[in-house]
Structures are given as structure tokens and as C-alpha cells.
Amino acid sequence: MNTLSRSVGSPVSRVDGPLKVSGQAKYAAEHFEPGMLHGYVVLSTVAKGKIATIDVTAAEGCPGVVRVYTHLNRPKAASRDGKWQDSVAPPGSPFRPLESDEIQFDGQPIALVVADTFENARDAAALVVATYESLEARTDLAQEYRNSYVPPKKRSGIPAAPKPRGDAEKAYSEAAYKVSADFRMDGEHHNAMELFASTVFWEANGQLTIHDKTQGPQASRDYICNVFGLDADDVTVKNAFVGGAFGSALRPKYQLFLAVMASIDLKRSIKVEMTRREMFYLTWRPSTIQTVSLAADEHGILQAVMHHAVQATSTYEDYQEVVVNWSGLAYKCDNAKLTYELAKLDLSTPGDMRAPGAATGVAALEVAMDELAYEVGIDPLELRIRNFVHRDQDNDKQLTSKALHSCYREGADAFGWSKRDPAPRSMREGNDLVGWGMATGFWDAMLMAAEAEVRYSADGKVTVSAAASDIGTGTYTILAQVAADEFDVPVDDVTVLIGDSTLPTTGVAGGSWTAASSGSAVDAACKAVRKTLLSQAQEIESSPLAKASVEEVRIRDGRLVLDTNSQIGVSLADILASKQMSSISEAGKVGPDLVQMMSFKSYTHSAVFVEVKIDEELGVLRVTRVVSAIAAGKILNPKTARSQILGGVVMALGMALHEEGMIDHRTGRIINHNLAEYHIPAHADIERIDVIFVDEHDDKVSPIGVKGLGEIGVVGVAAAVSNAVFHATGKRIRDFPITIDKIIIDKDALQ
Ligand code: MOS
């Protein structure tokens, strides 16, 4: 680790910021080529059944229309037999458009209209006429709950529910205090600012350059090569800038398939961009119905934890998240029974959405913990402290670090938690009932395989390259910081090249692991450059560094010097000149430490404190303050880090209060497929949010001590809001989102 850091740990502004605010950063749909084609997708208007007829003659006769593709004339792709897996993250058999006449979900693409302009394609698409043999669609999780099943095959990388430990049923029945409650969470729909889009540039030699909205350019490339039988050398995927993704762009979406299919077939460049409406049919956060049962003794010490979750999936994939496992590792408890099942709905396969599984599972656990605190009659924060655990009991492993006590303490101090009157409806301000609630948050800290290359040039400039992605998180900036410190140059002297499948191998940007993984790969590459520089310096006659080891030298002010005495050293220019080189570049590579993983697990932690004010007569709820105290190891950049947590909190307030995918279960159709009727937090909904990063030193989680921040900001927030609503009103709301009707519907709650 760098000891003399000056960039790492500083609030460096995004290096890509000026390009973004001046409109020069080009997103997937913003690349053009004269004469290129445009595709527009036609969507099914039934949720289940078969296409009986599809008439494209009117559309084909429209001005500028080049081709209309349906299942009847779609060019062949690699065959699939139902078991065949596409090469994607997360693994599975994602929906492929125009494959057959079968309709599996509302909004399924049934045709692609290709024309000379977007407007012509859209006009013609309106004239495609389909008739259906429609079947009854089952889209109500409450109805399908009874048909739930244990996933037959676990999703790769996603642990199944842990085996039960102790005897939770018995401990529960014998305990002095207990709570058992059901929770319902509606589906949420991914709506990043940037729509899914793929721009495919076709070259005469058959090579494709594709600008795709993705969290992994190599994942999209591999998918395309797999599906269309192309050579990896002939396909380049770029995602230099991504306008938000949050998990939605881990998997390739159908517009990528359609754009590449049409490009190969027509031998033309083409762009297919989704409409906002299309975003609502894909990769949604699955709805859940959960039951959490907790029991404690008279001191509030947990005796039993039981958590059962049934989560929605599609009819054609067993999509899985880690929903219940958190309940077994959150607090010390020797009797735990956690069960996780799926229920099939006639909707598209759900997908990862920022803190998948934890956002929903921890919300249920943390509301139940608040209920238990009231049962036992102790402070909710005190209940959590009394049940603190220093081990991962699910996996029976040690933790690499857990500074959660600091989160509790610093968060509570900043919020003023000690001034809370615990009685519901006890705190008021004018017409408002004031409620204070809190919760704990948990997320994984993971190191994934990642590679990077670093080049140092004689002019003192540094270039970092990796097929990593910046999905709005700050990857460009933090990778520049890591390299800047190693070479002792300003961040402005570092160029970061990412978002290109031809660069050193890197997985998708997900799971909050990019900073730890790619940051460590860059660090390793920098050290490899330093090592080479040292060996070259030692070949110089009477080298002052002749006896130094690589650990003993640092780059300072353009020279390779002894760490203990910066006057002893050789200038980098002289080292390069001695070899007649104008630059030097080395590769770095990191991956999970499999031996360490046998005894250790790593998590990020948070303590979230929320204040709500609820108009007693109107039931209008405002979240007036949030304090989120985070333990996530080393913070590379407090500015981009804070932005990650702010964004996570805002997104979680959407989950807690606004976001609600509404389905007409009579037809299986999604009703509110637009941002007018699907509510998300707007500026006026967001008041004060304070972010605290507590000190946490972790020398095991990743080579650079970083844990990752993309997701932890979400976890726990919805529970803290619900707990604050209870404190304000005396009404426990376990059905998310907490909309005004749920607050006022029970007249007793608000007199
Ligand atoms: Mo994240 S939901 O793994 O991109």
C-alpha cells in the first residue's frame, strides 16, 4: 500500500466530469455514421400466448423502410435447445428476441423495423399488425406464492440459503419475546438515465465495432460471438461512458442482439435504442413476499432467527439473489432457519438491481428487528449492539474487518439518536408527527479477477488501460488516482483508457467490486513497472540503487529513490535513456485469494438513521434527514465515494416510498410503464443526507484495502424509513413502497 499518498484519499473531482457536463462524452446511442440505419422495436400487447398472425406489408411499404424482421424471417443465430446457456453475466439463458411465435411476457419484442431514419422506423412500426392466441397470464406473486419451489440449480456465484443451525423452531417457541411478520415488496423497474442502446458499425471485411450500453464490454463481445458465431478478433465492444446501469446492464439486452443481427444480415451499420417504455419490461427488481420471525430473551439476546422468502422469477429462468442469508449473518444467533424459494410469473426474467437481494431481504429483517426492540422494550440501536457478531455464522468464517460499531456510534452522534423519545407518536413539530428510525446495512466486499496495463512515458505521463467500466461510479477517477500516487504525478498526467473490449481482461462492473479489483490490478501493474525500472536502474554502472529491493524504492518527483532517503536514486528519464526506451509498460493481475477465502469473508456495513415528518391530518410523508454511516475499508476518493452513498440513499428512498411496478393481473400487463406514472424521488423529495465514512483498516479484503461502495448505500434505508414511520405514527407498514394510502387507510393510525 502507498504510504505517501497524496491523491488517494483526496476528494478529486471526476476526471470525466468536464466531458460529461459539456456533452462531449458520447453514450451508446450518440455515435453516428452517414447512411447508417435505425431500428425500432414493436412490442407485444398480450402477456402470454402465441402470435397468430403478423402483417408487416403496410410497414414495409413506408418511406425509408429497408426491412421488417419478425419471428417468420429472422436470420438464424446459434441454436439453442433450452438447456444451452448464453455466455452472459448473470449466467442463464436470457430471452432472445424474435425466436418463435411464443409470447412469454408483456412488452415482448415481436418485430424490428429497420429504416433510414429513426422517425421512419418508428412510423412504420406503428403499422405492424399482430393478432394473438392469448392465454391467461399469471403475474400476481400473492397468487403464485403457493406454487413456490426451491431453485433446482444454484446461480453461479450466488450462495444458496445456508443450512439451518441449532433448532430455531424450538428456540422460537420457548422464547420470552417474539415477533413474526409478513413483508411484501413490489417489483421495481430499472430506469437509468441512459436507455439501452447499441450502435453497430459494420465494416466491409465483416468486422463490427459496437457501442453498447453495458457494464462489461467483454461480456457483450463474448455474448455476440457466442450467439452469432463470430470470432472475438472481429468484434469490438465499447462503453466508454455509461449513463447509469445499477445492475441493469450486466446482461446484454435484446437491442444488442437485434442490432447485430440486422447489421450482419444487411451488411450495414445500424443503431437500435430502446424507448423509455421498453425499460419497464426488463431486468426488474423482483417482487418478494417474506416472513421474518425473531425471538429474544428478556435482555434482548436473540434466541431464534427465521426468514422465509418467496421471490418472483420468469417462467423461463430461475433467477436468484441472496435474500435471506443476511439474516443469518447480521447478528449473533445460534438458532437460524433461512429458506428461499422462487415463484414463476409470466413476466420477463428479473435482474440485479443495486444491492440485489440485500435491498429486499435486509429491509424485512431490519423492520422485524425494530419490532423486536419494541417487544422487549429496549432501544432499537441497543438491541443491535447487544447482538453484535464478529463472525459470519452462515459460513462459519472470520471477517476480514467489521467497523460497524463505529458506524453505530458516529451515525447516532451525528443524528442525535440519544435525544429520541422511544414512544410512538411522542415527537411532534407543528402539524407534523416526527419519527426517527434506524437500521443496519450489509453488502459483500469482493475481489474479482481483473487485469490492467500501465505505461510510463519519458515525458512523465502515465497511461492506464483495462476493459473495466465506469457506470457513473468514478472508475476513471480512482484508477487515475491509484496510478498518480505510484508515479508521484498529478492526476491530470494520468490517462485512463477503459470501456473497450480490446483492453486487458476485466469482468463486468457489478457487485461493488470494480474499485477493489481494477484498482488493485492497476496498483499491481504500477508495481510491476517499478520493479522493471529498478532492475534497469541496477544495470546502470555504479548504480546508487544496486542493493535496493523493490519494496525499498519509491518513485518520487520523477526519480526512483530509496524510501528511506529520497536523495539516493536515479531519474526515470535516465533509466529509460539507458535502454533507449521512450516508455515502459507492464501488466498487473489480481484475483480472489482462494486460500484466504477458506477462512475469511468480507462485508461492507452501514448504520442508517432516518427522520420522517408526517402531516397528521393529510398523511403526507417527508424524509427530512438521513445519516448513513459506512464502513467500507479504505476510501480512495471521499468525493466520488460520497456520491455513491448519496445515490444509493436516494434510490432506496425510491424503493421505500415511491417505486411500484403496477401490473393489471387480469391481463398480465404493466400499467405504469413511463416516468409520469412510475414514481421516483425528485429533487423536492430529497432533503438532508449526511454521509459518514468511518475508519476501517482491512489488509485482507483486497491488495489496496478497498471494499467497494456501489451498493451498500441502498441497504437498510427502506427499513429505517418504515421504522421511522412507526415511531411517528404507531403504525407498522411492512408493505413497500410506503405510499400515502397505506399511512392514512387505517383511521386509528392517524387520529
Ligand atoms: Mo450490481 S446490481 O451487481 O451492478
Q: Could you report the per-residue pLDDT of 620-653, keeping only the tens digit for each? A: 999 999 999 999 999 999 999 999 999 999 999 9
Best residue among 250, 321, 323, 446 to mutate for probing ligand 1's pocket (most ligand atoms within 8 Å of CB) is 250
| pLDDT score recorded for residue 93 | 80
- Beta carbon of 356 within 6 Å of any ligand 1 atom: yes
Query: Could you give the 3-state DSSP secondary structure of residue 144?
Result: helix
Chain centroid to CA 412: 27
Q: What is the pLDDT of residue 6?
A: 86
Strand 197-202, strand 208-212: pairing: antiparallel
Q: Can you tell me which atom of ligand 1 is nearest the CA of 249?
A: 4
247 CB within 6 A, ligand 1:
yes
**Ligand 1 atom, smallest distance to 245 CA:** 4
Tell me whether residue 371 is one of the annotated catalytic residues: no
- Residue 353 alpha carbon, nearest atom of ligand 1: 2
All three cell numbers of 185: 415488496
Q: How far is the CA of 470 from the centre of ligand 1 (A)?
A: 13
H helix intervals, 330-399? 358-376, 380-386
Q: Are 521 and 536 in contact (CB under 8 A)?
A: no
What does the block give as the cell for 622? 417527508
Measured in Å, residue 353 CA sits from the centre of ligand 1 at 6
Which residues sit opposite 236 in a β-bridge? 209
For the Cβ of 352 lying below 6 angstroms from any atom of ligand 1, the answer is: yes
Q: Is the CB of 451 under 6 A from ligand 1?
A: no
Q: Which of 352, 473, 644 to mutate to test the pocket of ligand 1 (most atoms within 8 A of CB)?
A: 352
Query: For a pocket test of ligand 1, which of 213, 354, 514 has the largest count of ligand atoms closer than 8 A to its C-beta?
Result: 354
Ligand 1 atom closest to residue 356's alpha carbon, by position in its atom list = 2
Provide the b/e sequence for 181-211 (b: ≥16 CB within 10 Å).
bebebbbbbbbbebbbbbbbbbeeeeebbbb
Question: What is the spatial distance between Cα 106 and Cα 100, in angstroms, rounded to a whole number?
Answer: 15
Ligand 1 atom with the shortest distance to the CA of 247: 4
pLDDT tens-digit readout, 439-471: 999 999 999 999 999 999 999 999 999 999 999
Ligand 1 centroid–CA 249 distance in Å is: 8
| Predicted pLDDT of residue 77 | 85
Q: How far, in Å, is the centroid of ligand 1 from the Cα of 510?
A: 4
Ligand 1 contacts CB of residue 353 (under 6 A): yes
Dist. CA 155 → ligand 1 center (Å): 15
CA–CA separation, 727 vs 499, rounded Å? 47
b (16+ CB within 10 A) / e for 694-726: bebebebbbbbbbbbbbbbbbbbbbbbbbbbbb
Spans in the chain with pLDDT lower than 50: 1-4, 81-83, 749-751
Ligand 1 mean position, distance from CA 482 (Å):
23
Q: Which residue's CA is the closest to the ligand 1 atom numbered 4?
A: 247
Q: Is the CB of 357 under 6 A from ligand 1?
A: no
Classify 166 in phi/psi space as left (phi over 0), alpha (psi -120 to 50) or beta.
left
Best residue among 475, 513, 711 to mutate for probing ligand 1, ranked by most atoms within 8 Å of CB: 711
Among 321, 410, 451, 711, the one annotated catalytic: 711
Query: Of all residues in the chain, what percent carry a pLDDT higher than 90?
Result: 95
Closest CA to 332 of 375, 297, 308: 297
Residue 653 Cα to ligand 1 middle (Å): 18
Position in ligand 1 atom list of the atom nearest CA 508: 4
Q: What is the DSSP letter of 114?
A: E
Give 286 Cα–ligand 1 centroid separation in angstroms.
Answer: 14
Q: Cα(262)–Cα(74) distance, rounded to whole angstroms?
A: 9
Task: Answer whether 162 contacts ligand 1 (Cβ < 6 A).
Answer: no
pLDDT of residue 88: 77
Q: What is the DSSP string of 446-503?
A: ----EEEEEEEETTS-EEEE-S---SSS-HHHHHHHHHHHHHT--GGGEEEE-SBTTS
Q: How far is the CA of 20 from the centre of ligand 1 (A)?
A: 22
Is residue 586 within 6 Å of ligand 1 at its C-beta?
no
Distance 628 CA to ligand 1 centre (A): 20
Domains annotated for the chain, with CATH where assigned, are 17-24+447-591 (3.30.365.10), 31-135+193-245+249-279 (3.90.1170.50), 146-188+284-446+599-750 (3.30.365.10)
Regarding the beta carbon of 250 and ligand 1, being less than 6 Å apart is answered: yes
Distance, CA 447 to ligand 1 centroid (Å)? 14
pLDDT digits (tens, 9 = 90+) for 352-363: 999 999 999 999
Q: How far apart are CA 508 and CA 727, in angstroms?
A: 41
Atom of ligand 1 nearest to the CA of 471: 4
At 31 the three-state DSSP class reads coil
What pLDDT, on the 0 to 100 scale, is given for residue 721? 98
pLDDT tens-digit series, residues 40-69: 999 999 999 999 999 999 999 999 999 999
Residue 434: closest CA among 310, 578, 611, 680? 611
The reply to whether ligand 1 has any atom less than 6 angstroms from the CB of 511 is yes
Question: Quick one: which atom of ligand 1 is closest to the CA of 215?
Answer: 4
Locate the DSSP E strands across 661-701.
Answer: 663-664, 669-670, 688-693
- One-letter identity of residue 408: Y
Residue 351 Cα: closest atom of ligand 1: 2
Q: Give me ligand 1 centre to Cα 512, in Å.
A: 7
φ and ψ at residue 653, rounded to 5 degrees: -65, -30
Residue 437: CB within 6 Å of ligand 1? Answer: no
- In angstroms, the Cα distances linking 37 to 65, 74, 270, 342 are 9, 17, 4, 41
Query: What is the DSSP-derived secondary structure letter of residue 282?
Result: S
**Per-residue model confidence as pLDDT tens digits over 664-706:** 999 999 999 999 999 999 999 999 999 999 999 999 999 999 9
715 touches 606 (CB < 8 A): yes
Q: In what order do the strands lie in the sheet with 735-736?
A: 336-345, 302-314, 288-296, 177-185, 735-736
